[in-house]
Structure 1
Amino acid sequence: MKRMIRKFTLLLATVVVTTAVMAQDDKPVASPAQTVKGTIKGANITINYGSPAVKGRKIWGGLEPFDKVWRAGANDATTFETDKDLKIGTGMLPAGKYTFFLIPAESGQWTAIFNKVQKQWGAYTYKESEDQLRVKVTPQPLKATQERLVYKINKNNFALEWDKLSVAVPVN
């Protein structure tokens, strides 16, 4: 019986030590979750997104293909939340929480999408029939490369900045 207790104690100690050592793994997260909050036209805005890095890759037309719905971030699809109705482009977006997608284009305007279905992983289960609003947006070149994807909330828009482009969504 004592021998069995010793074996069990040794096994338990091994599990505890192994767990403690594994918990010390300090590898950085490849695409850390980020949140940005701000105010546009009196509405409180919250954007939750995964922030991937360029890491020397071709982003537009490479990692993120043209003419395909993209989660506008990494991991879980990006979410956009407003506590007031907003006029975005020529359409109205009711107060609420939406999944935000983009459709990049090789040239010209991109499509910004506010979708009613939340908690989506990537754009794999995206359905156009669940869109609340779609608007056309025009990407602009950045002066310097933005290594990590970021969202910025400004006075009259919110913008995704990554690689060599800024994609602002106007709020009227």
Structure 2
Amino acid sequence: MRKVIVILAVMLANFFVEAQVKTPQASPAAKVEQVVGLTNIQIDYSRPSAKGRTVYGDLVPFGKNWRTGANANTTISFSENVKVCGKDLAKGKYALYTTPKADSWDIIFYTDTNNWGLPEVWDEVKVALRVTVKPETLSKSVESFSIFLNNLSNDSGVLELSWERTIVSVPFTVPTQEAAMKSIEKTLAGPSAGDYFAAAQYFYQTNGDLNKALSWVNSAVSLSPKDKDVPYWYLRLKSLIQAKLGDKKGAIQTAKLSLEGAIKEGNADYEKMNKDSIAEWSK
């Protein structure tokens, strides 16, 4: 009898889990993803609808901070540093708050994005940027609150907030030329020390061409900053490749250099590995 009761309880539990009622959200979630030049921008927000109500000055009071949507924070993120209305804004993720007024709007980028709507306690220190723009009147009413990225070019765009008969446009610029030049210079300069090290490590670990691996790790060593010691993990890899190629004398010399670096940096693991390898290769 007890077994039957347990089985029935499990069946009922499964029924209630599977029978959860699903209904549409009053303010459905939306996402905007856009690449502007070389900058990735993402906006996550919820879209309330007017439903015959007067929005600005009533549902959304003038002169008070607004969550700029519904439900959790409306957030906007930038993969690069940008300028909004000509003012600097560091790359990162922000809550997007606004202060609507009849003749102007404050647009606020707030560093704390973990609030449900407005923060319980507003902290002005968390305001990364505040800019003021002029609202415009639309010829046609917008039923659901909408955020778009429009007027896109390689270097700029406009963040648009529209609802009812009001649209607010926030111009921004992105550092496309700067990012492109960095990419060009890095590519034309050739692989970095880290790139050569990674390639050599892969070939060593997968039993690839060890002569190529040795050439690459030598390039990694030679490209290391001249004002700093060669990374001891670079030298450790070189010694392992040399040993695998049968050059135990060279491997010991390189391992001793790696050992010196490990001791200097206080890395006990590399210190032990190098000592063990030197002892093994010296037999």
Structures share fold, TM-score greater than 0.5: yes
1:6 to 4, 7, 21: 4
Determine whether 1:26 maps to 2:41: no
Question: Which is worse superposed, 55-64 or 96-105?
Answer: 55-64
2:110 to 107, 115, 134: 115
Contact 2:86 2:172 in 1 (8 A): no
Per-residue deviation, 1:137: 1.1
Per-residue deviation, 1:159: 0.6
CA distance in 2, matches of 1:61, 1:40: 33
Which protein is richer in strand relative to its size? 1
Per-residue deviation, 1:100: 0.9
Determine whether 1:84 maps to 2:80: yes
Contact 2:77 2:94 in 1 (8 A): yes
The 3 A distance-change label for structure 1 pair 137 and 39 is farther
CA distance in 2, matches of 1:41, 1:133: 22
Per-residue deviation, 1:41: 5.2
Secondary structure (helix, strand or coil) at the match of 1:5 reads helix
The structure with the largest alpha-carbon Rg is 2
CA distance in 2, matches of 1:122, 1:88: 23
The 3 A distance-change label for structure 1 pair 116 and 18 is closer
Q: Map Cα deviations across residues 44-69 of structure 1 (whole Å, 9 max, x no partner).
A: 21111111111222211222111111
Partner residue in 1 for 2:125: 129
CA distance in 1, matches of 2:165, 2:36: 25
Question: Which is worse superposed, 140-149 or 38-47?
Answer: 38-47
Which protein is richer in helix relative to its size? 2
Q: Map Cα deviations across residues 16-49 of structure 1 (whole Å, 9 max, x no partner).
A: 2222222xx2311111221101234542211111
CA distance in 2, matches of 1:56, 1:147: 9
The 3 A distance-change label for structure 1 pair 37 and 142 is same
State, as a whole percentage, how many aligned pairs show the same letter. 31
Which has the higher relative contact order, 1 or 2, with Cα contacts under 8 A spaced 6 or more apart?
1
Q: Map Cα deviations across residues 122-150 of structure 1 (whole Å, 9 max, x no partner).
A: 11333222111110111112222211111
Aligned length: 167
Secondary structure (helix, strand or coil) at the match of 1:12 reads helix
Secondary structure (helix, strand or coil) at the match of 1:56 reads coil
Aligned partner of 2:129: which letter?
A: L
- Could you list the runs of 4 or more consecutive aligned residues of structure 1 that deviate by over 4 angstroms after TM superposition? none
1:53 to 37, 42, 49: 49
CA distance in 2, matches of 1:55, 1:16: 38
Structure 2 residues without counterparts, runs of 5 or longer = 174-283
CA distance in 2, matches of 1:76, 1:110: 21
Determine whether 1:138 maps to 2:134: yes
CA distance in 2, matches of 1:4, 1:13: 14
Partner residue in 1 for 2:166: 165
Aligned partner of 2:128: which letter?
A: Q
Contact 1:40 1:171 in 2 (8 A): no
CA distance in 2, matches of 1:43, 1:13: 51
Contact 1:39 1:153 in 2 (8 A): no
Provide the TM-score with structure 2 as the length reference.
Answer: 0.56
